[in-house]
Amino acid sequence: MARDLLLTRNIGIAAHIDAGKTTTTERILFYTGVNHKLGETHEGSSTMDWMEQEAERGITITSAATTCDWIFPKENGEPTEDAQSYHFNIIDTPGHVDFTVEVNRSLRVLDGLVFLFSAVDGVEPQSETNWRLADNYKVPRIGFVNKMDRQGANFLEVNKQVKEMLGSNAVPIVLPIGDEGDFRGVVDLVRNRAVVWHDENFGATYDVVPIPEDMKEEVREYRALLIEEVASYDENLLEKFMEDEDSITEQEVHAALRAAVMDMAIIPMVCGSSFKNKGVQFLLDAVCRYLPSPMDRESVIGVNPDTDKEERRRPDVKEPFAALAFKIATDPFVGRLAFFRVYSGRLDAGSYILNNRSGKKERISRIYQMHSNKQNALDYIEAGDIGAAVGFKDIKTGDTMSDEKHPIVLESMDFPDPVIGIAVEPKTKADVDKMGMALSKLAEEDPTFTVRTDEASGQTIISGMGELHLDIIVDRMRREFKVEVNQGAPQVEYKEAITRAAQHREVYKKQSGGRGKFADIQFTLEPADEGKTGLDFISAIKGGNIPKEFIPSIEKGFKQAMVNGPLAGYEVDAMKVTLTDGSYHDVDSDQLSFELAARIGFRNAAKAAKAVIMEPIMKIEVITPEENMGDIVGDLNRRRGQMSDMGDRAGAKTVKATVPLSEMFGYVTTLRTLSSGRATSTMEFSHYAETPSNISEEVIAAAKGVES
């Protein structure tokens, strides 16, 4: 059936770990009639956390997609005369920093976002990371302050933090009635009425009650603030506001608020308690009212690979088909699934598409609408929808799928590099082949997980975003692929960098009877321009000193040399090479000679170009009781930590710092000891920085197998 795109919402749910994302999604599925039983994360019975590891640990590891329908508007749980059925595609994303990739790729394809905050903890570190990602992809959002039933809950304080710490225009559109154990409803500031939910039917119905006497003054103040914010966005309302603010109608406020949300000028803030079944239906209504449909987002821009010209695709079934694959997953029953968002056109099951990265045709044998880890088969999928495809040979995360006759490449996704690695080896000979297959499948699913072989030791090194990330990978190998492995101690993924310009001439000669080898190149090696990654190669050869056909081989040689840096064999992330001169021999010169000259030349020039070891620096935030603060700050200083901020939150002290990853192994255990188990910490990757010389020497010595 063809869907009305104006009634479709592609939304994500994002937040810091433990703010209640999965519980909120479970309530949405319950209220929309998809589930007839409430799933609970703490019982391991939630629909969206379907992996065994998720149920055991009570955390979300992989973003799960689901679909449901919500009738809006309703009055006391019953549809009104003008009610319509809204179709939701929802992606529940993980909150743990090690799985930020899941949030990143989900935001790339979503139209709107419900951003959760804990009413007790407010804006936490991972909230900031995910908020920046949402800003980066320009995703309009609604703030939902969850856990209003908990001790210490403070809706307006969280609202203030969202404004100040995230630099956004957060405006409350509700006020809570009661707090902590007494939280029972909200005052809707737009409609100027109070709503109290019933406990007996899981909050499916509610009563509209008079605004409590003791809240009338506060309601008047915050309603005036809301109207003022909306009026200052919409010029037509501003005139009305100046004359008589009471003349502004409810519908006008809704319309202006919707426009402001889509323009990211206002973030409407609502509150509730998902666990206690309060406020989720109000949130669903707000999603229908204020978040964009696929029709509201402008046409998507891509590049035609044949002409290199920009092209647009509108969210219309009549346009040529264009979609972006944002996730690859392996399912035990249907095989490899490619999750994709359709931006334009229509795709029928069994038809062919063009993969613009490989330039090859792919047959999509089946299309599914996903509900967590279950699939409902579809005959076709149209613009604005999210689905999963089966039957392809080679589709990767970030690939653009398009109509064969109308190729287009949509903007792909950037993922952070892994910062931590461990060596793994199969426990038995029988596991050798199985391990290789398991690792390649897992690496295909997760762009932040890489596998390489250490040239010096011959070991297989797997790298990821953190210890938990690698822990889950090894666990998945054991459970899903039945591969048992031994693992080494975690290692930091260092990098190498060039810090100054150096000129060098490399002459490569080899005589071995018969035809010899000869190449002569002169080049400048220097740091890459800011913001550039990879090799920036410029050929300034004049007058054919080196024939044109050898230039690509020289570039290839430098590219290969970057994989193993000159100091300790770690990757060089970015550099610039300008080829200035050289010479060749009519008989002895060939492509391989020039490639080898570039590789040897890079190693020889790196010393003069002052190559250095770079180490990953992590951002850490510790929340601790005041009496343990001195010990914790002292410990972070010993770990080469640099304090960036100290503050207060919910009756405790917060310490923010940047610390090298190499100093942070086993930190959680130390923190528990220092604080008698009362302090908590969160850590995420910040940037790479030059390693101090004494530590550089240790790293180089360890890489060369020399005891330092």
Reported as a single tens digit per residue, the pLDDT across 441-484 is 888 888 888 898 876 677 888 988 878 788 888 888 888 888 99
pLDDT reported for residue 678: 79
For residue 45, pLDDT over 80 is answered with: no
Neighbours of 323 (CB within 10 A): 30
Per-residue pLDDT at 408: 93
- pLDDT (0 to 100) of residue 675: 86
pLDDT at residue 562, rounded to an integer:
92
Helix (H/G/I), strand (E/B), else coil: 409:
strand
Tens-digit pLDDT profile for residues 380-396: 999 888 888 888 888 88
Burial pattern 600-611, b for ≥16 Cβ within 10 A else e, equals bbbeebbeebeb
679 or 582: whose pLDDT is higher?
582
Q: Once rounded to an integer, what is the mean pLDDT over residues 252-256? A: 88
Token pair for residue 466?
């953190």
Q: Single out the residue of 329, 336, 299, 282 nearest to residue 27, CA to CA.
A: 282
Q: What integer pLDDT is reported at residue 650 of this predicted model?
A: 65
Model confidence pLDDT, tens digit, residues 208-220: 888 889 899 999 8
Burial of 89 (0-12, 13-18, 19+ CB in 10 A): buried
Q: What is the pLDDT of residues 495-540, one digit of tens each?
A: 999 999 999 999 999 876 667 889 999 999 999 988 788 899 999 8
- Cβ contact 601:522 at 8 Å: no
Bigger pLDDT: 419 vs 557: 557
- At 634-668, the pLDDT tens digits run 999 999 999 988 888 767 888 999 999 889 888 88
- Angle, helices 280-290 vs 250-262, to 10°: value is 80
**707 — pLDDT class (breaks 50, 70, 90):** very low
Q: What's the pLDDT at 352? A: 92
Angle between helices 280-290 and 21-31 (to 10 degrees): 80
pLDDT in tens, 262-305: 999 999 999 988 888 888 889 999 999 999 999 888 788 899 98
Q: How far is CA 284 from CA 71, 178, 281, 415, 550, in A?
A: 10, 22, 5, 31, 62
> Of 614 and 61, which is predicted with more confidence?
614
Q: How far is C-alpha 638 from the geometric centre of its chain's CA atoms?
A: 32
Section 52-78 average pLDDT: 65
| DSSP bridge partners of 313 | 300
State the pLDDT at residue 55: 47
Read off the tokens for 491.
């290692």
Confidence of residue 250 (pLDDT cuts 50, 70, 90): confident
| Average pLDDT across the chain, whole number | 84
Q: Which candidate, 580, 416, 576, 569, places its Cα nearest to that of 491?
A: 569
Confidence of residue 20 (pLDDT cuts 50, 70, 90): confident
Positions at the binding site for GTP: 15-22, 92-96, 146-149
pLDDT at 64: 62
**pLDDT over threshold 50, residue 42:** no
Q: What percent of the chain has pLDDT over 70?
A: 91
pLDDT at residue 402, as a whole number = 93
Q: How many residues would you count in the chain?
A: 708
Q: How confident is the model at residue 353 (pLDDT cuts 50, 70, 90)?
A: very high
**Residue of 58 and 221 predicted with greater confidence:** 221
Convert the pLDDT of each residue in 125-169 to its tens digit. Answer: 777 778 888 888 889 999 999 999 888 889 999 999 999 888 899
Res. 50: pLDDT tops 80:
no
Residue 611 is predicted with a pLDDT of: 92
Binding-site residues, in ranges, read 15-22, 92-96, 146-149
Helix (H) or strand (E) run with residue 462 in it: strand 460-464
Query: pTM for the full model?
Result: 0.73
Q: Return the ∠ at Cα 503 (arms to 546 and 616), rounded to 5°.
A: 115
Domains and CATH numbers, the chain: 5-290 (3.40.50.300), 300-410 (2.40.30.10), 420-493 (3.30.70.870), 496-609 (3.30.230.10), 613-703 (3.30.70.240)
- In this prediction, residue 79 carries a pLDDT of 80
Q: What pLDDT sits at residue 97?
A: 54
**Phi/psi at 137 (5° precision):** -90, 5
| Model pLDDT for residues 185-210, shown as the tens digit of each residue | 999 999 889 999 887 767 777 888 88
> How far is 55 from 44, CA to CA, in rounded Å?
4
Task: Return the H-helix or E-strand segment holding 452.
Answer: strand 450-453
pLDDT at 677 over 70: yes
